[in-house]
Chain A
Amino acid sequence: MSAASALDPPRPRRRHSVREILGRSDYAIISELIEPNSRVLDLGCGDGALLAWLADHKRVDARGVEIDGEKVKRAIAQGVSVYQGDINEALADYPDQCFDYIILSQTLQETRQPLQVLREMLRVGRRAVVAFPNFGHWSVRLAMLFFGRAPKTRLFPYEWYDSPNIHFLSIDDFELLIARERLAVERAYFLAGRRTFRVLPNLLAEVAVYLLRR
């Protein structure tokens, strides 16, 4: 999205256009999960593309946190309220239950204390939307078995030494954590490319998206 488009009047709503605009299947799912006119905080929001889309199409009160200054600038230039800072620190400042949704899209595996982040998300927000890459995917398993090297996925093709990922969790790992924390799963989506899976997600899905609440 260019800065100029932020100045244009809001476009009429089109279904599924988010996938065309953002080109990310987890974004498409998330955008469908979020109720119109709700309050949303996106952790690690990048250049704010998802938030800008939600603000324009669902009249969402959209806020974000991002550590990378260049991305923060691009987000603010689109009119999205983004704070440059660390996810943990940002969450700690907010009062309880002041957002309808807290989004953590593909950054859970990058946080130092994922459990703490998850708990804070559900303190500050009524619901948490968590999307993460599934390191239980068959291609990761095969690569580990045959090549004996650190996991890479199609979406996260980093070498171990320059990867932002510091945790390599699978869908089954996450399900165990949810059970232990007694969190309720309202919705869950398991994706690979444009396909959605219902069976054997831990083997077939590249990305999982959960809608959680306490």
Chain B
Amino acid sequence: MIFHPETHYVRFASLALDCGAALAPVDVAYQAYGRLNAARSNAILILHAFSGDAHAAGINPQTGKPGWWDSMIGPGRAFDTDRYYVVCSNVLGGCRGTTGPSSINPATGQPYAMTFPVITIGDMVRLQKMLVDQLGIERLLAVAGGSMGGMQALQWAVSYPDRVAGVIPIAATARHSAQQIAFNEVGRQAIIADPDWNEGNYYATDRKPARGLAVARMVGHITYMSDTSMREKFGRRLRAKEKYGYDFSAEFEVESYLRYRGSEFVNRFDANSYLYITKAMDYFDLTNGSHSLAGVFARVQARFLVLSFTSDWLYPSYQSQEIVRALRSRNLDVAYCELPSAYGHDAFLVEVEEQAELVRGFLARTLRMQAAA
């Protein structure tokens, strides 16, 4: 069944940020699928990864494209919209409807650009909680997401322990590692080095830092794949030729794939959002540098389904296992599985069959436990 989801917008008067500043006003773009039951007990918040948006499921009527997790969300799917009310919002700092650096600053009438305050995963989650309040949902059945979405899921469990029954962090971490920060920094420097970036003030011009943003995305894509998946997908195959041209055109298929992905990304993503959101990920550390992870989970009540993938070297399994061990030392209810996959970090978007049964079982049990409580 094909459905065309609608994007809704809510405006909040202001949002206090971790950096001390406040944003006023703040718009949130979100989509919702399924129906909220009378007890308002079947709501699930889906949290998107770095470059995602509110369009998680269904077919966009303009572009004809499916949502970024369409294979997981819908009637009869893992997040079954016949049973659950599923909400997904664009993150703070994004460029797909929620307030971000490309939004107009009401004080100046100009886009914020680099005057946008630096944001954190905690800020994103605070704004999501305002949306959940607005929707009249007292307690979410679950929060779920992969990668940066998984970090938000963890933040939800810690920030609002009495507002969420089940937490599903997939291919995530409790703190960004040096390697993760390093790759983000390469992406940021690629953008900043592009003269068209112009200190972030490119909105009024017809030149965007397209080359810098494309390079940033190319690096990103490499980290989302694995050696195996790249070997299987591209090998050393040449594109549309049989012999080397002895030049620097995109000869190898992998080159042309990365260039395509890079240039396509420029059309749908804002370079300044790239800077702000990657910075938010890099600041992410549930322990805040001081307490042990187990200490941070002291007030947490939710049950957890933690998933990681064997070939994910960007968010390796040890990071998920660290989360699981800390949860267990708090005697919290946690299920964990390292799923076999060759797709690297992308697996959380691709390995639908692998994840669907586990998510389905976890949600059904969580719903039953909530009903019994």
A contact residues vs B (CB 8 Å cutoff): 3, 6-7, 9-10, 55, 59, 61, 63, 69, 72-73, 75-85, 90, 93-95, 98
Min C-beta distance of B326 to chain A, whole Å: 8
A76–B361 CB distance below 8 A: yes
- Complex Cα distance, B340 from A143, in Å, reads 42
CB atoms of A94 and B337 under 8 A apart: no
Check B328 against A94 for contact (C-beta < 8 Å).
yes
Asked if B365 contacts A6 (CB within 8 A), the reply is yes
- Kindly list chain A residues whose C-beta atoms are within 8 Å of the C-beta of B357: 3, 73, 76-77
Q: Quick one: which of B305, B321, B339, B362 has the most chain A CB within 10 A?
A: B362
Residues of B within 8 A of A (CB): 303, 305, 321, 324-325, 328-329, 331, 333-340, 354, 357-358, 360-362, 364-366, 368, 372
Closest CB of chain A to B358's CB: distance in Å?
4
Q: State which of B331, B338, B361, B366 has its C-beta within 8 Å of the C-beta of A84.
A: B338
B339, A93: Cβ atoms under 8 Å? Answer: no
**Which residues of B have CB within 8 Å of A95?**
329, 331
Q: How far is the CB of A121 from chain B (nearest CB, A)?
A: 15
Min CB distance B29 to A, Å, is: 32
B364 interface neighbour in A73, A75, A79, A93, Cβ under 8 Å: A79
Contact indicator A79/B361 (Cβ below 8 Å): yes
Given contacts A61-B333, A94-B329, A94-B331, contact A77 B361 (CB under 8 A): yes
Contacts of B336 in A (CB 8 A): 72, 82-85
5 extra interface residue pairs, beta carbon distance < 8 Å, beyond A76-B337, A76-B362, A83-B335: A10-B368, A69-B337, A75-B335, A80-B361, A90-B328
B330 to A, closest residue via Cβ: A95
Cα of A9 to Cα of B367 in the assembled complex, Å: 11
Given A77-B357, A94-B329, the answer on whether A6 and B337 have CB atoms closer than 8 Å is: no
- Collect the chain A residues with CB atoms within 8 Å of residue B303's CB: 81
Partner of A6, one of B321, B338, B340, B361: B361
A53 to B285, CA, bound (A): 39
- Nearest chain A CB to B312's CB is how many angstroms away? 15
Which residues of the other chain, B, contact A85 by a CB distance below 8 angstroms? Answer: 321, 336
Q: What separation, in Å, do the CA atoms of A62 and B29 have in the docked complex?
A: 39
CA distance A75 to B331 in the complex (A): 19
Cα–Cα, bound, A77→B354 (Å): 10
Distance from B137 Cβ to chain A, minimum over Cβ atoms (Å): 22
Q: Which residue of B lies closest to A84 (CB)?
A: B337
Contact B328 A83 (CB under 8 A): yes
Residues of chain B within 8 A of A3, CB atoms compared: 357, 360-361
* A-chain residues with CB within 8 Å of residue B305 when the two chains form the complex: 76
Which of these, A7, A77, A98, contacts B331 with CB under 8 Å?
A98
Between-chain CB contacts (< 8 Å), 5 pairs: A3-B360, A6-B365, A69-B337, A69-B338, A94-B328
Of all chain B residues, which has the CB nearest A90? Answer: B328
Q: Are A63 and B358 in contact (CB under 8 A)?
A: no
The reply to whether B358 and A77 form a contact with Cβ atoms under 8 Å apart is yes
